[in-house]
Structure 1
Amino acid sequence: MSSQNQQRWWVLASLAFGILAIGLDMTILNLALPMLAQDIHATNVELQWFANGYNLVFAAMLLPMGMLGDRIGRKKMLLTGLLIFGAASLACAYSVSSWQLITARAFLGLGASLIVPLSMAIIPVLFTEKERPKAIAVWMMANAIGIPLGPILGGWLLNHYWWGSVFIINLPLVIIAILSVSFLLHESRSQEYRPMDLPGMLFSSVGLIALTYGVIQAGEKGWGDSFSLSTVVGGFLLLIWFVRYQTRTAHPLVDPALFHSRRFAGGTLIGSIISFALFGVLFVLPQYLQAVLGADAFSAGLRLLPLVLGLLLGTPISDVLQSRFGTRTAIIAGSILLGIGLAMGSATTISSGYGFELIWISAVGLGIGFALPAAMDTAISALTPERSGVGSALLMAMRQVGGTLGVAILGAVLNAGYRNGLDLKEWPTEAAQMAQRNVSAGLAAAQRTGSDSLVHSVKNAFVTGMGNMLWVCAGAAVVGIIFTVILLRTRSAECNSSTAALEAKE
């Protein structure tokens, strides 16, 4: 392997540390919320905004930051994002009030909105078509490992140090990424000069904020809440207008060809559907492990590792499937395996135990490892190096929307199944009202009554709701298969398209 080739992989490996820090940040904060409520006297609304402030800024700034990376330079903007993320992590750790922490979390979201799309944007710039699936696999693994590692590492840190340590852990990862990018990554930017699409930036940002905020509120207040529903609808309408505007303006923020590309549209849509199912599974599993099986946060994180192991094993197999049979085959095989794993999970009972869960979450991880990198490779293959920053940002924005919708919609399905499964006839009135909030409150209320039958009722109701939710996830996997068949080409069609493209160049 040449030194130049090695350097490209070292650049990607160094960026993986920054992506790992962002993955950790997605889950590690949840463990610190009880301490934050006590130490800085945060209210329930403020606790929600610790997460919402990050999510809203991240969603709003993805497309503008991707465009700035293409325009100003991807290396410059990556380093800027890493510096912002590191400084914001330090500010989070030493916040003494809720407003300081919310502000610092918003800057964390700003840093992440630079790191995530631009770290992906360098893949089509640095790597050949043959190398790209492996590069995407590295990027995906760094992102995936951080999610279950958050509770494991966070549980250990909170047992030994103060709550700010869950943010300090970001600093060594960010420093490694900054040093490596500074010395190893060459600057790249678009050679095309395009005026700033300010209306496109405004309406994409406001649309993503409205959609994300509306979905978050609907997850908390229910889809019958008029404000939440109107915010979601308003966000969708703004994004539809944004797409229409991009196809008509002379200097669009996003290349209009992407909206007509079957590869980009298909890969992005399928990736968003898989993210919908993945975020739903990651939402319900920690609750099942802790509430039903009685694991603490640290043990729950360890028990999620088979999901990541399945993804790690599935990704290189997906690479082989893509090279031999095409991306369509890899996505369909992964979606089938994902659907089978989710259908198995829907059969979980309170007596199933961890052995049964080990089987189906491994199948889910393996299926995602097959399908998600292949879907992302399909979308990225449609990007030119000139517009890779904003194209990658659009891809990540759609995945973010898919994941957010997954948590909100699937959370509503879970809650409906849980509440309908509770037999409240034996409950005292106050305990019954408390039990309907969520499974943790239900167990606390049942244990307070000293009734084993009520504890059993709460656990059984939650498992019923989880089963309903996993069936919806399995249905999403089937929808992904349908879109794959409709939108993506077969292996022979891919080969014919590649041959035609080469002949056109010659």
Structure 2
Amino acid sequence: MGSAGTTDPDQGHPRRWAALAALCTSLVVVTIDNTVLNTALPALATALPASTADLQWINNAYTLVFAAMLITAGSLGARMGQRLALAGGLTVFAVGSAVAATAGSPGQLIGLRAVMGLGAAFVMPATLSTIVTLFGPRERPKAIALWSATAGLGIVIGPIAGGLLLEHFSWSSVFWINVPLVAVALGAVLVLLPPMPGRPGGRLDLPGLLLSASGLAALVDVIVQGPERGWLSTWSLAEAGAAVVLLAAFAGWELRTAEPMVDIRVFAIRTFSLAGVLLAVTFFALFGLLFVFTQYLQLVHGYSPLKAGLGAVPFALAMAATAATSARTAARLGTRHTIAGGLALMSLGLAGVSLVSTGTPYLVIAAAMAVVGAGMGLIMAPASAATVSSLPREKAPTAGSINSVVRELGGVLGIAVVGTVVSASYRDHLEAALPGAPAPATDDLTSAHLVAAHLPAEAAGRLLSAADQAFTTAMHSGTWICAAITLAGAVTALLGFARTAPAAPSADDRPDLGQPAVVGADRTPAGARG
């Protein structure tokens, strides 16, 4: 059994656990980059120099290309083989990072961030689909649990790594660090992953590729830029309409063409679609929370970027602990109750964050964040396992791509919605508390601190006190939204999943897609329905 093609369908490939280490290393590299750049934005603004709009595009170019290309990259990865897709994606990511570290203008950096997003789009879905290929049904939930813990840790490690680098080096260090990280990941992929030949197909579905990429690009762009342009502006409405038309055309084409890039019929499977929605809800809440939480620690509490990054450690540790054991939890309680319990726990922790004040001790904040992390750890692996277990084994690339898409869309939507609510609430509360406050100070908390630095001590104290209180109150509004949506997700999980949350859906629950890749998410009596 020297290749994935001779993998025992029940036991898995002999090198599966070594391969998982390579997959998790690759995943950490690209998930860290989702958050590491945030700590370097102030330094970038000074060094390049970059305007606020430039900084937004430096951040968003990666997200836009990454999300837009996920489905395409998953499809192409299935053709070329997951091992080659991983190696190629990591190489593109590393080259983009190295050149980005030497960028001399905001425009260059924006373009290179897009290149990095393209590389990452080939890495993320390939990691999950490779797990499905290499692991048998008994061990697959545990492998996905470890994969999920790695993905969550990478998101939290980003700000810590960024803060640590910027304590000693320039902004370019957040890009240079990717080169040795990718070298380790690439070496692990080439040495530890078995040969995994692709599945030769017929003609490349070029119309599907173009429609999916352009539709997702339009959707992500309107979500990301909506708060700045205005959600009801002509441009936002036109772009949203274009996204709907393009994605509807994509779905229609995929249903008609003889060789589709993605089998749209998978969305008719209740377990698959519901698990995807709940993953989007989870990442909506996570990214929405992290967006305001890092600002709260740095500006309201006055933490350095490194200390603010370390402030998320309780979240990371709790999430890793519950994610690593979530396969056993799901086997004991069932997927339905595990995901619902995780979302309810997240909601409880978010409600706790919503009660903090400007002077709340860090230990209290850490406890609330740990509850959020513990809840998230319970969700990710069972929900990811549900997406892949409800499809035939050969549809693993589709499952991996869509799993990544819903996470990314949930995250960018969380930042956009929570950011919009917090911004509007901050402005209203500051103007109410301090009528006549300098105009720049009402834009955001960072501007208020910059304005205060040039005011007399007494005036600066009044402005900072009012601004910090206004932001904390605004943060409450944002985190209450996250708490409400995760609580709604918990109820949806209880009502939507079958009581057994069967890994292989019944005949009336899925179209004829072939033999499902059973994950064995639950062991409760078969046939019971919720």
The answer to whether TM tops 0.5 is yes
Q: Percent identity?
A: 35
Aligned to 1:376: 384
Q: Which amino acid aligns with 2:443?
A: R
CA contact (8 A) 2:27 2:124 kept: yes
Task: Please give the alpha-carbon distance, in whole angstroms, between the structure 2 residues aligned to 1:342 and 1:424.
Answer: 26
1:294 CA drift (Å)? 1.1
Which of 35, 38, 47 aligns to 1:30? It is 38
Task: Please give the alpha-carbon distance, in whole angstroms, between the structure 1 residues aligned to 2:70 and 2:120.
Answer: 9
1:18 CA drift (Å)? 1.9
Q: How does 1:112-151 map to 2 (within 5 A)?
A: 112-151=120-159
Measured at CA, do residues 487 and 178 of structure 1 come closer, stay the same or move farther in structure 2, by a change above 3 Å?
same
Aligned to 2:4: none
Aligned to 2:430: 422
Task: Please give the alpha-carbon distance, in whole angstroms, between the structure 2 residues aligned to 1:271 and 1:329.
Answer: 15
Paired residue total = 500
Q: Which amino acid aligns with 2:466?
A: S
Q: How does 1:416-495 map to 2 (within 5 A)?
A: 416-424=424-432, 426-428=434-436, 431=438, 433-449=439-455, 450=457, 451=459, 452-491=461-500
Which of 353, 365, 371 aligns to 1:357? It is 365
SS at structure 2 position matched to 1:137: helix
Q: Which amino acid aligns with 2:382?
A: A
Which of 217, 220, 223 aligns to 1:215? It is 223
Query: Are 1:55 and 2:63 matched, yes or no?
Result: yes
Task: Please give the alpha-carbon distance, in whole angstroms, between the structure 2 residues aligned to 1:438 and 1:142.
Answer: 33
1:186 CA drift (Å)? 2.2
Task: Please give the alpha-carbon distance, in whole angstroms, between the structure 1 residues aligned to 2:97 and 2:515.
Answer: 47
SS at structure 1 position matched to 2:171: coil
SS at structure 2 position matched to 1:145: helix
CA contact (8 A) 2:282 2:486 kept: yes
Task: Please give the alpha-carbon distance, in whole angstroms, between the structure 2 residues aligned to 1:325 and 1:148.
Answer: 28
Q: Structure 1: 5+ residue runs without aligned partners?
A: none
1:427 CA drift (Å)? 4.8
CA contact (8 A) 2:392 2:515 kept: no
CA RMSD of aligned residues (A): 2.5
Moved over 4 A (4+): 2-6, 189-192, 424-429, 492-498, 500-503
CA contact (8 A) 1:203 1:242 kept: yes
Query: Are 1:347 and 2:331 matched, yes or no?
Result: no
1:448 CA drift (Å)? 3.7
Which of 62, 66, 72 aligns to 1:64? It is 72
Aligned to 1:193: 201
SS at structure 1 position matched to 2:104: coil
CA shift digits 1:39-92 (9 cap, x unpaired) = 333333322221222112112211111111111211111111111111111111
Aligned to 1:43: 51
Q: Which amino acid aligns with 1:230?
A: A
Measured at CA, do residues 447 and 77 of structure 1 come closer, stay the same or move farther in structure 2, by a change above 3 Å?
same
Residues 221-230 or 317-326, more deviating: 221-230
Query: Are 1:324 and 2:329 matched, yes or no?
Result: no
Task: Please give the alpha-carbon distance, in whole angstroms, between the structure 1 residues aligned to 2:375 and 2:152.
Answer: 14
Q: Which amino acid aligns with 1:490?
A: R
SS at structure 2 position matched to 1:409: helix
Q: How does 1:5-16 map to 2 (within 5 A)?
A: 7-16=15-24
Measured at CA, do residues 426 and 99 of structure 1 come closer, stay the same or move farther in structure 2, by a change above 3 Å?
closer
Residues 288-297 or 35-44, more deviating: 35-44
1:161 CA drift (Å)? 2.1
Q: Which amino acid aligns with 1:467?
A: H
Residues 121-130 or 249-258, more deviating: 249-258
Q: Which amino acid aligns with 1:348?
A: V
SS at structure 2 position matched to 1:422: helix
Q: Which amino acid aligns with 1:261?
A: I
Q: Which amino acid aligns with 2:167?
A: N
CA shift digits 1:114-173 (9 cap, x unpaired) = 001111110110112221222122222222222232222222222222322211111222
CA contact (8 A) 1:334 1:367 kept: yes
1:426 CA drift (Å)? 4.2
CA contact (8 A) 2:80 2:199 kept: no
Q: Which amino acid aligns with 1:306?
A: P
Q: Structure 2: 5+ residue runs without aligned partners?
A: 1-7, 519-530
Task: Please give the alpha-carbon distance, in whole angstroms, between the structure 1 residues aligned to 2:192 and 2:454.
Answer: 59
Measured at CA, do residues 426 and 367 of structure 1 come closer, stay the same or move farther in structure 2, by a change above 3 Å?
closer
SS at structure 2 position matched to 1:279: helix
Aligned to 1:387: 395
Measured at CA, do residues 236 and 402 of structure 1 come closer, stay the same or move farther in structure 2, by a change above 3 Å?
farther
- If the length of structure 1 is used for normalisation, what is the TM-score? 0.92
CA shift digits 1:313-348 (9 cap, x unpaired) = 111342222112221111011011111111121111
1:259 CA drift (Å)? 1.3
Task: Please give the alpha-carbon distance, in whole angstroms, between the structure 1 residues aligned to 2:477 and 2:276.
Answer: 26
Residues 338-347 or 314-323, more deviating: 314-323
Aligned to 2:3: none
Q: Which amino acid aligns with 1:398?
A: V
Measured at CA, do residues 258 and 467 of structure 1 come closer, stay the same or move farther in structure 2, by a change above 3 Å?
same
Measured at CA, do residues 319 and 249 of structure 1 come closer, stay the same or move farther in structure 2, by a change above 3 Å?
same
Query: Are 1:281 and 2:273 matched, yes or no?
Result: no
Aligned to 1:204: 212
CA contact (8 A) 2:288 2:419 kept: yes
1:6 CA drift (Å)? 6.3
CA shift digits 1:192-232 (9 cap, x unpaired) = 63432222111111111101111111132332433123313
